[in-house]
Structure 1
Amino acid sequence: MESTTTEILHDFLHLMRVYKDGRIERLEGNDVVPASVDPITGVQSKDVEIAPEIGVGARLYLPANADQQHKLPVLVYFHGGGFMVQNPFSQTYATHLNALVSQANIVVVSVDYRLAPEHPLPVGYEDSWVAIKWVVSHFKGDGQEPWLKDHVDFQRVFFGGDSAGGNIAHNMAIRVGSEKLDGINILGLILNHPFFWGEEPIGNEDAETNYPDKAFVDRLWRFVNPLTVGSDDPMLNPAKNPDLPSLGCSKVLICVAEEDLLRDRGWYYYEVLDKSGWKGKVEIMETKGENHVFHLYNPTSESAVAMVKKVATFFNQHKD
């Protein structure tokens, strides 16, 4: 009989394996690179504790020559990884955010939220809200972080993220729309290959050639959120959320990739939001011939460079 130390209970491809003896093996995003000054872009980074009692922190990024500039927009960023892997201190996110901060000339707060299954959803959402409230506390002068107090224009606040982080960013903007945020308005939302889904397949989601397939995504969602009502949970399927017209920002940029299983959900979000009665402006960019979060795994490719440039332009459109 096979030992329980090697018998797999849950297998989520390149993300995670859970063994019958309770052992959890994360298959990516375990590395940590120190905060530093990036030698290529001159972008500075440092790590901060936000709520150490629950383990919520962030990595902050500041563009070169920030001391010589007017106050800058701030992006509160949520990393991807299916709510179960990755971290804001990995080389993957350091590379991406150094490039974005340099091109867009913004401050970034990359949030370290707790991961499933040790901390199943909605913990990740609640941790993200704690981080947002911490950022906004600096608007009233109560915060202690000098990079936020000295360099951020709190009239230009953005949320963003990739994959599961895009899902979090969207849901945080929904929460801002319903609860408000200490007088702060969220200017824009950037969703890179956002993790949205639904019970009924749309587009190419039920094609037999898909890898992973729809059943995999349904199973992953129930794993990270055991109390969910299913794949039509409003946190996962924005079309089922009656609060969608109250999305708490004025502009949304969605990035999708042609070969991504989540592509059609990105387009569906674009269409549903545009017709929902929401008063803002939504735009979408599709990258041909690329797959899910390609810009993270091949950041110097022509497609990745073009995508970062598009996102940087989105910030610049809102400058005075």
Structure 2
Amino acid sequence: MATVPPSYDLNTGVLSKDVAISASTPCLSARVYIPTETTINNHSNRNRKKLPLLVYFHGGAFCLETPFSPMYHNYLNSLVSEANAVAVFVHYRRAPEHSLPAAYDDSWTALEWASLHSGGNGPDEWLNAYADLQKVYLAGDSAGGNIAHHMGLRFGCALKTKTSDWVEGIDLRGIILVQPFFMGNVPIGNERTDKVTRSLLVGLWHLACPSATDGCDDLQINPEKDPRLSSMGCARVLIFIAEREVQRDREWLYRDLLVKSGWEGTVEVMEAKGEGHQFHLLHPTSDDAVNLMRRFVSFLNENEISQG
């Protein structure tokens, strides 16, 4: 699989680097992105305003892709530039070599690592200097959307039970789920008609999580079976859906489940008509992909606008 190194991207003015996250898990790392126009170029400005921090998780059915693939690297360059945010793109362990919950555990460790910078004295100088840990967002596409969902739940549960002191040091403002990977044992909506794709996804789920005795009704892949939804640890959730993807109706169901769970936040949905799964990555300059990017960016900056 093709990979690209971190770089200074001339088209967006975004600078990136790779960092280690955990000495105990050598293959856990992240690619960090900063927009140089408002960071390094203003380094001498003592009144420089820190930027929102986006922690991003990639897709690939827990088995494929990395933050280092050209498709993802290019997309994060554009996203960081448009949003004027700092990003930590997590390189979690993948199946089948590392079955779930490895990806969840790594993502949680990465979020804890990011929290170390809340006082400006963490291990990474970029996050210390430029990231505002009181404006943290989680996002991911496909399997990464599933991970972002679970990190939001784990964060909310940790706040309630006070089992992880570090969560008090950051403010999780919102979560963005881009066509998240959810499934269930009983097909619904597009899953009934696109049987080939559904069968492929079911197979990938079993490959990623062979210990799931309930199959696709395991609460890790089926939010309908999870009693913790009301514990979502942020006030806002944004879901991007593609009309032609096989999981479309599962994602709309997720929206309904959140609303009915007793969670006190707000959930928004944007559906792209006529589009398929990950269209925004495959065709990033298309009208629908541009609209998705615009809404993504506005979600990250709505608090900035309301306070301005």
TM-score, structure 2 as length reference:
0.91
Specify the code of the residue in structure 1 equivalent to 2:87.
V
User: Hey, what does 2:243 align to over in structure 1?
Assistant: 258
Per-residue Cα deviation, 1:196-227 (whole angstroms, up to 9, x for no partner): 111122222111x44413x3222221111011
Match status 1:153 vs 2:125: no
Q: Which residue in the other structure is 1:139 paired with? A: 118
Query: Which residue of structure 2 lines up, in the alignment, with residue 226 of structure 1?
Result: 210
Give yes or no for contact 2:118–2:128 (8 Å, CA) kept in 1. Answer: yes
Contact 1:136 1:182 in 2 (8 A): no
Query: What are the within-5 Å matches in structure 2 for residues 26-105 of structure 1?
Result: 30-54=1-25, 55-67=27-39, 68=42, 69-105=48-84
Alignment correspondent of 1:189: 175
Q: Which of 271, 278, 281 is 2:256 aligned to? A: 271
Letter paired with 1:59: R
Mapped pair 1:112 → 2:96 = no
Give the distance between the partners of 1:78 and 1:202, measured in 2 at CA. 26
Root-mean-square deviation (Å): 1.2
Bigger helix fraction: 2
In the TM superposition, residue 42 of structure 1 has moved relative to its aligned partner by 0.4
Determine which of 259, 278, 282 is the counterpart of 1:297: 282
Alignment deviations for residues 111-132 of structure 1 (CA, whole Å, 9 cap, x no partner): 0001100000111111111111
Report the AA paired with residue 31 of structure 1: A
Q: What is the CA deviation profile of residues 81-139 of structure 1, one whole-angstrom value per residue up to 9, with x for unaligned ones?
A: 01001000111111111111111111100000011000001111111111110001111
1:262-294 CA-partner distances (Å, limit 9, x unpaired): 111111111111111101010000001110001
Q: Is the 2:16–2:32 contact (alpha carbons within 8 Å) kept by the matching residues of 1?
A: yes
Determine the structure 2 residue equivalent to 1:240.
225
SS at match of 1:76: strand
Q: Are residue 128 (structure 1) and residue 107 (structure 2) matched? A: yes
Unaligned regions of 5+ residues in structure 2, if any? Answer: 43-47, 160-166
Tell me the CA shift for residue 179 of structure 1: 1.0
Match for residue 197 of structure 2? 212
Q: CA deviation at 1:64?
A: 2.5
1:142 CA displacement: 4.5
Q: 1:184 offset after TM fit, Å?
A: 2.2
5+ residue gaps, structure 1: 1-29
The amino acid across from 1:131 in the alignment is: A
CA distance in 1, matches of 2:49, 2:2: 35
Instruction: Give the TM-score, by structure 1 length.
Output: 0.88
Q: Any idea what the Cα deviations from partners look like across 1:211-263, whole Å, max 9, x if unmatched? A: 413x3222221111011131111111112111100101110000010110111
1:153-200 per-residue CA deviation (whole Å, 9 max, x = no partner) reads 111100000000000000011000111313323110000000011112
Q: Which amino acid aligns with 1:206?
A: R
Distance 1:141 1:235 in 2: 34
What residue identity is the alignment partner of 2:53?
A: V
Percent identity over the alignment is 48
Decide whether the 8 Å contact of 1:185 with 1:248 is kept in 2: no
1:296 CA displacement: 0.8
Contact kept in structure 2, 1:36 and 1:45, CA below 8 Å: yes
In the TM superposition, 1:153-172 aligns within 5 A as: 153-172=132-151
SS in 2 for 1:272: helix
Q: Give the SS at the match of 1:315.
A: helix
Give the aligned residue type for 2:209: N
Q: Residue 188 of structure 1 contacts residue 251 of structure 1 at CA under 8 Å; is this kept in 2? A: yes
Given the alignment, which residue of 306, 310, 314 partners 2:299? Answer: 314
Matching residue's letter, 1:274: V
Q: Give yes or no for contact 1:41–1:64 (8 Å, CA) kept in 2.
A: no
**Counterpart among 266, 277, 282 of residue 281 in structure 1:** 266
Question: How many angstroms apart in 1 are the aligned matches of 2:196 and 2:171?
Answer: 39
SS at match of 2:49: coil
2:158 aligns with 179
